Structure 1
């Protein structure tokens, strides 16, 4: 497996971290739109991404060129408040002008197996994502790739995995695989709060965690509000 390169960005306060992410997303989006005519971003769930999404409502950009994807989803009914796409829509997407047909939600309401099949077809023509946002769980999981489970690290792994036994409820989920997440120009991990310190220390020490399996060519960027020591 390719050696992971990690670029660290440590902030004293979460507000400063969010402001930097806001500015960097603006730059990456502008560059992608200028070069390719579109900006493909993969969204994460969690508290820190939600705070970021609320800020992005105020971004000065041409939303017509944005294409939205999701890194994972819980197998729950449409509009369930615990779904990642529900959070993103309420915090951000419903308030800006991204064409609805350019928001590609994971159909997790179909169940893990069928939903994964559908989303593989949805992203089959996407060669590279421009930006992937990911969180870090206290056990070192990211998206719905959990320690001890199949995370799809080989080049012949499915791009989208059906997760049947997640250790956190609900047990059925759908996730982009590690190899698919790695096919991205930029991958940014957002890890804030005291609860992430243990996972960051394990990551630093070389423990084989799912977060370590995301290996894009340009490396990954870690944005954290806590010194990793």
Structure 2
């Protein structure tokens, strides 16, 4: 990976995953309200995974202007729209179908098109997006985030494309689309959500500064990592 500025990390430790979920949902609501008050809209990149899905379910209860929200997906599996492991479908079931965000402001990655075409399609969409206000990400047991895996391209270069077509993911399914590390770093606020003892080794490696994919997300303002005690160890 080319040498860039160091990742600034702020760790937020919570006793349980339930505490993490409650505080994270409140923080998302606050950031959304601030963005809408300042500019009239809020552009939000979603992570997949069990912990983010629990957070999204909490967002149903927000008292906010849903018409100002714009939703994007950080990565997607190349499966059909109704596949149970599709990130956009999980977010839809947990949250999006329960709130009145205009359909045209929810932007799934069309993984059913295959990785190359879906990546190109989403890159074209993102070219018209003025900014992200908040990017949310998870952390895999191997240190991956979105669909950026160890020993694979992460797209950290200044001229890296906004999206990457993944054809040989070490986790099934092998074909995926991911926003690149460069694109994920283009937000004033980036949150990682990490819960459970299975993530403890990845968290320890990250804290030691090892070169895991999550460390390639380097926004100018740094990243906030929300972690429960089980993952912190």
- 1: distance between equivalents of 2:61 and 2:175? 34
In the TM superposition, what is the alpha-carbon distance from 1:62 to its structure 2 partner? 0.7
1:115-134 per-position Cα deviation (integer Å, ceiling 9, x unaligned): 00000011102242100110
- 1: distance between equivalents of 2:81 and 2:23? 32
Question: What is the aligned partner in structure 2 of residue 180 from structure 1?
Answer: 183
Question: What is the aligned partner in structure 1 of residue 170 from structure 2?
Answer: 167
Question: What is the aligned partner in structure 2 of residue 50 from structure 1?
Answer: 53
- 2: distance between equivalents of 1:190 and 1:22? 11
Question: Following superposition of structure 1 onto structure 2, how do residues 44-193 of structure 1 map, counting pairs within 5 Å?
Answer: 44-193=47-196
- Report the secondary structure of 1:184's partner residue: coil
Length-normalised TM-score, structure 2: 0.96
Question: What is the aligned partner in structure 2 of residue 212 from structure 1?
Answer: 215
RMSD: 0.9
Q: How many residues align?
A: 229
Q: Structure 2: 5+ residue runs without aligned partners?
A: none
1:93-123 per-position Cα deviation (integer Å, ceiling 9, x unaligned): 0000000000000011000000000000111
1:38 to 31, 36, 41: 41
- Report the secondary structure of 2:91's partner residue: helix
In the TM superposition, what is the alpha-carbon distance from 1:204 to its structure 2 partner? 1.0
Q: Structure 1: 5+ residue runs without aligned partners?
A: none
Question: What is the aligned partner in structure 2 of residue 26 from structure 1?
Answer: 29
In the TM superposition, what is the alpha-carbon distance from 1:206 to its structure 2 partner? 1.4
- Report the secondary structure of 1:40's partner residue: strand
120-129 or 76-85, larger mean C-alpha shift: 120-129
